[in-house]
């Protein structure tokens, strides 16, 4: 989901920004959007290099200086677009959440919400594995997911995405079951989304877990709650 965050003027610094001020949250907006082809290429190279390095060195050791060296650009070239490393991570997180939400859109339909419990659970498991693959197929996706969870200033990206998906699923559920208690439906759907996301984080943190088994168990739990919700 696109998050409209107004960028504020930031003094350019050549120092490593891995130790951002704890007194205030870092600026997260891009300083300007690229328009010309060469500028777009530089913008995208910054993002892809950040994702690559994130997987190699982690969040704490990542810095704009390191990104510049790997990408073969000068710090002023990077600072034209991003005020700090957190703004780059913000854009990477926003894009990954958008890809996951785009995958969910064709699933959230009236027809899906009317499926029998077993079929509904199977569809939830399929979507769960699909969004997991989106994360795995995104450059640095696993580490971007960790950044969205670990960095306080980035957590709103994940929360806004969950809220957007909640509204998407709730709309389809209301169309399918007009008499449903909306407040209860919203709570059930939001908890289901957060639980499914937590299960994905489990698979990231504990690779020995079987994704198919996790998907099946979580899907059955979610389906049971949705069927219970239909009866209210």
pLDDT (tens place) for every residue of the chain, 232 residues total:
333 333 333 333 434 444 443 446 677 666 667 778 889 999 999 999 999 999 899 889 999 999 999 999 999 999 999 999 999 999 999 999 999 988 899 999 999 999 999 999 999 999 999 999 999 998 889 999 999 988 999 999 999 999 999 999 999 999 999 999 999 999 999 999 999 999 999 998 899 999 999 999 999 999 999 999 998 7
pLDDT for residue 42: 95
The answer to whether the predicted template modeling score (pTM) of the entire model surpasses 0.85 is no
- Residue 124 falls within a domain, yes or no? yes
- Residue 172 falls within a domain, yes or no? yes
- Residue 20 falls within a domain, yes or no? no
What is the distance between the alpha carbons of residues 95 and 34, in angstroms, rounded to a whole number?
16
pLDDT for residue 158: 92
- Residue 214 falls within a domain, yes or no? yes
- Find the CATH number of the domain harbouring 127: 1.10.357
Provide the residue range defining the domain that includes 148: 92-230
Neighbour-count burial of 85, counting CB atoms closer than 10 A to its CB (0-12 exposed, 13-18 middle, 19+ buried): buried
pLDDT for residue 27: 72
- Residue 40 falls within a domain, yes or no? no
- Residue 218 falls within a domain, yes or no? yes
- Residue 114 falls within a domain, yes or no? yes
Question: By the 8 A CB rule, do 185 and 174 touch?
Answer: yes
Question: By the 8 A CB rule, do 214 and 119 touch?
Answer: no
Q: How many CB atoms within 10 Å of residue 174?
A: 16
Q: Which of 160, 168, 198 lies closest to 186, judged by CA?
A: 168
Overall domain count for the chain = 1
- Residue 125 falls within a domain, yes or no? yes
What is the distance between the alpha carbons of residues 83 and 2, in angstroms, rounded to a whole number?
18
Q: Which of 124, 133, 151 lies closest to 221, judged by CA?
A: 124
pLDDT for residue 29: 65
């Amino acid at each position: 989901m696109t998050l409209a965050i107004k960028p504020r003027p930031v003094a350019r610094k050549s120092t490593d920004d891995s130790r951002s001020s704890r007194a205030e949250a870092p600026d997260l907006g891009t300083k300007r959007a690229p328009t010309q082809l060469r500028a777009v290429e530089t913008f995208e190279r910054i993002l892809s290099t950040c994702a690559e390095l994130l997987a190699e060195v982690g969040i704490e050791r990542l810095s704009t200086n390191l990104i510049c060296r790997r990408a073969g650009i000068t710090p002023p070239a990077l600072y034209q677009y991003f005020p700090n490393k957190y703004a780059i991570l913000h854009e990477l997180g926003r894009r990954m959440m958008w890809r996951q939400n785009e995958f969910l859109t064709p699933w959230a339909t009236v027809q899906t919400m009317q499926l029998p419990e077993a079929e509904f659970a199977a569809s939830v498991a399929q979507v769960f594995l699909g969004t997991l693959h989106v994360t795995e197929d995104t450059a640095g996706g696993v580490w971007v997911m960790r950044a969205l969870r670990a960095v306080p200033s980035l957590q709103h990206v994940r929360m806004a995405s969950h809220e957007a998906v909640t509204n998407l699923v709730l709309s389809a559920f209301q169309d399918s079951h007009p008499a449903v208690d909306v407040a209860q439906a919203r709570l059930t759907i939001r908890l289901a989304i957060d639980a499914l996301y937590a299960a994905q984080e489990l698979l990231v943190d504990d690779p020995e877990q079987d994704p198919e088994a996790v998907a099946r168990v979580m899907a059955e739990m979610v389906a049971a709650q949705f069927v219970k919700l239909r009866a209210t």
